Amino acid sequence: MTTHAPSRIFLSPPWTGEPERAALRRAFASGYVAPCGPMVDEFDRRLGALAGQHAAAVASGTAALDLLMAELGVGPGDRVVASSLTFVATVGPAVHRGATPVFVDSDPATGLISLPLLRRALRAARPKCVIAADLYGQCCDYDALEALCAEHDVPLIIDAAEAVGATSNGRPAGHAGVAAVYSFNGNKIITTSGGGAVLSRDPEIVERARWRAQQAREPVPWYEHREIGYNYRMSNLLGALGCAQLDRLPTIIRRKKRIFAFYEKAFAARPRLGAVPFPCAAPEEATRWLSVFIFPTPAVRDAVAARLAAANVESRPVWKPLHLQPAFRKCRTYGGAVAEDLFNRGLCLPSGAGLTRKDLARIEACL
Ligand SMILES: Cc1ncc(COP(=O)(O)O)c(C=O)c1O
């Protein structure tokens, strides 16, 4: 008798179906297979409506951050102050431009950038900008961050890659500071397979990002360049995919919240595991893009992860703080212990909007 291993349950796979296929077919039929085109324009318009500001869809969230670093003129010798508990792409584009990151620990109540430590970092040295990262579907406190950065006259960039669809005191994800970015990478709450966006309340910042993303070409019949740009355009096909995914966003958020509630209930029924949700100050404003739980010790966390892995179920530790990354070992860090602790004891659990009851039962059996 042959036994088949159960199919893999991934952490956060894309959730797509016939509406996405139909949108792609329509985009093909329109003849706009090349970069740009009407579906990217439509995606920009709809992203702008979602975020309450102007938007330009581009090739990735990392590209969007790179365009903002170009806009701010970040370069060699500059310092950028950033969250430590985040994905490396939050600071990658600044580092490629020769800037030095300065890291700030997490607030224990949210896991997001600590405002008292950010204040200390801003007092010590005036950076070129602050890049604050939203985490796992939870936005930073934009009102407080804006006030603090304004006090120190430092531009604020929001890395809202993980927070599309969430809010901060009622403000849509990324609605703060000079500008923000979204990501539509394959694991994000909505996906264009790969993609991102620049968002800003200032239409000129978004227009310049769009211009730089298209090789900074001057509006004349021949190829004329005052500045050297990038090829960070999003293709029309992916714009169509993005529009179809945006239609689903409210349903995805509802499903993500239900998945989070499932884990809460499952862990409440297993007090021996001692799991508590990743800190979150305003749960009603979060999307629960990923369901993340903190265990009493690294050993308990690792045991749960090992049981899931044995059943072919993917899970991941919380982001390894950037100040612990070998590449950044010489960088200045304010605090660090909170992010380190969340990394040591935190686990991201399967959170795909397409998870079935059967999948959830399989996961629960591992706990
Ligand atoms: C916080 C954060 N910033 C930036 C990115 C980069 O986005 P992308 O993968 O679209 O380049 C990601 C995810 O990939 C992220 O989680």
Q: How far apart are CA 9 and CA 325, in angstroms?
A: 28
Among the candidates 245, 260, 283, a domain finishes at 245
Contact 139, 167 (CB under 8 A): yes
CATH number at residue 305: 3.90.1150.10
In this prediction the pTM is: 0.97
Instruction: Tell me, yes or no, whether 6 lies in a domain.
Output: no
Instruction: HSE, CB side, 13 Å, CA atoms: give it for residue 278.
Output: 30
Is the four-CA dihedral 139, 320, 301, 273 of positive or negative sign? negative
Helices 61-72 and 203-213, axial angle in degrees (round to 10): 110
Instruction: Tell me, yes or no, whether 10 lies in a domain.
Output: no
Distance 356 CA to ligand 1 centre (A): 27
Residues 216 and 274 in one domain: no
Residues 315 and 215 in one domain: no
Q: C-alpha angle with apex 158: 11 to 88, nearest 5 degrees?
A: 50
Order of strands, sheet of 316-317, starting from the edge strand that comes earlier in the sequence: 276-277, 291-294, 346-349, 316-317
Q: How far apart are CA 272 and CA 267, in angstroms?
A: 9
Indicate whether residue 89 lines ligand 1 (CB < 6 A). Answer: yes
Instruction: Find tokens 């702008």 and name the residue.
Output: 48
Domain that holds residue 362: 249-366
Distance 199 CA to ligand 1 centre (A): 15
If one counts the domains in the chain, the total is 2
Residues 290 and 193 in one domain: no
Q: In tens digits, what is the pLDDT along the chain, a chain of 367 residues?
A: 455 678 999 999 999 999 999 999 999 999 888 778 899 999 999 999 999 999 999 999 999 999 999 999 999 999 999 999 999 999 999 999 999 999 999 999 999 999 999 999 999 989 999 999 999 999 999 999 999 999 999 999 999 999 999 999 999 999 999 999 999 999 999 999 999 999 999 999 999 999 999 999 999 999 999 999 999 999 999 999 999 999 999 999 999 999 999 999 999 999 999 999 999 999 999 999 999 999 999 999 999 999 999 999 999 999 999 999 999 999 999 999 999 999 999 999 999 999 999 999 999 999 9
- Residue minimizing CA distance to atom 7 of ligand 1: 61
Residues 168 and 206 in one domain: yes
Indicate whether residue 12 lines ligand 1 (CB < 6 A). Answer: no
Both tokens assigned to 324: 């612990």
CATH number at residue 133: 3.40.640.10
Residues 200 and 258 in one domain: no
Residues 189 and 45 in one domain: yes
Residues 122 and 76 in one domain: yes
Among the candidates 245, 275, 293, a domain finishes at 245
Indicate whether residue 136 lines ligand 1 (CB < 6 A). Answer: no
Among the candidates 205, 222, 245, a domain finishes at 245
